[in-house]
Amino acid sequence: MLKTLIRSTAFASLIAVGAAGFTTAAVAQDMTMVGGVAMDPDKTIVENASAAPNLSTLVAAVTAAGLAETLGGEGPFTVFAPTNAAFEKLPAGTVEELLKPENKAQLTKILTYHVVPAAATSEAAMKMIEDDGGDHPAPTVAGENISLSMDGDSIIVTDAQGNKATVEQAHVMQSNGVVHVIDTVLMPAS
């Protein structure tokens, strides 16, 4: 089921890229790359994430939860986007179980826990962390806070269960917000 969702999402992305035309190498060099693909700051979070091969599990989950339209909307949003490798760190079978229609509410809660209803660049996040003495609580769309801190030059996101995600790629600008790519799936308290 997961592989089918990922394949269909990837196929839809290829069609969208083909319909829009190919980006020239010169333009792509000026854009932030995620998963080897240029992220167009004039496209939405969903449009760009759909093109990044290392975010295909996230895109499949967003689609299964019915959040694609929301995250493709006006925003602004800050999305802490777990990579495929982050999802692979979950216990075996977790992703497949969450993608089942009967678990849509739980999947939606987990995904919206990765979204802050504001556009916070990495510079803004670091300033908030500094202003708050090294630990900044950030309210998510799910209604629970995540905690932002620093480890050297890296932004760390801590969830309600104490799991820590490192921002692997910060400040990927989108037309409706900003994406920070993370290495761990965040889990809300409930």
CA 110/CA 89 separation, integer angstroms: 15
* Predicted pLDDT of residue 172: 92
Query: Which amino acid is it at 102?
Result: E
All residue ranges of the chain with pLDDT < 70 are: 1-30
Residue 127, domain member (yes or no)? yes
Residue 189, domain member (yes or no)? no
pTM tops 0.85: no
Residue 59, domain member (yes or no)? yes
Q: Structural domain tally of the chain?
A: 1
Residue 187, domain member (yes or no)? no
Name the residue range of residue 84's domain: 2-182
CATH number at residue 166: 2.30.180.10
Q: What is the DSSP string of the chain?
A: -HHHHHHHHHHHHHHHHHHH-PPPHHHHHTSEEETTEEE-TTS-HHHHHHH-GGGHHHHHHHHHHT-HHHHTSS--EEEEEE-HHHHHTSPTTHHHHHTSGGGHHHHHHHHHTTEESS---HHHHHHHHHHTTT-EEEE-TTSSEEEEEEETTEEEEE-TTS-EEEEEEEEEEETTEEEEEESS------
| 81-134 tens-digit pLDDT | 999 999 999 999 999 999 999 999 999 999 999 999 999 999 999 999 999 999
134 neighbors 145 (Cβ within 8 angstroms): no
Residue 66, domain member (yes or no)? yes
CA 52/CA 35 separation, integer angstroms: 5
* Predicted pLDDT of residue 30: 66
* Predicted pLDDT of residue 32: 86
Residue 188, domain member (yes or no)? no
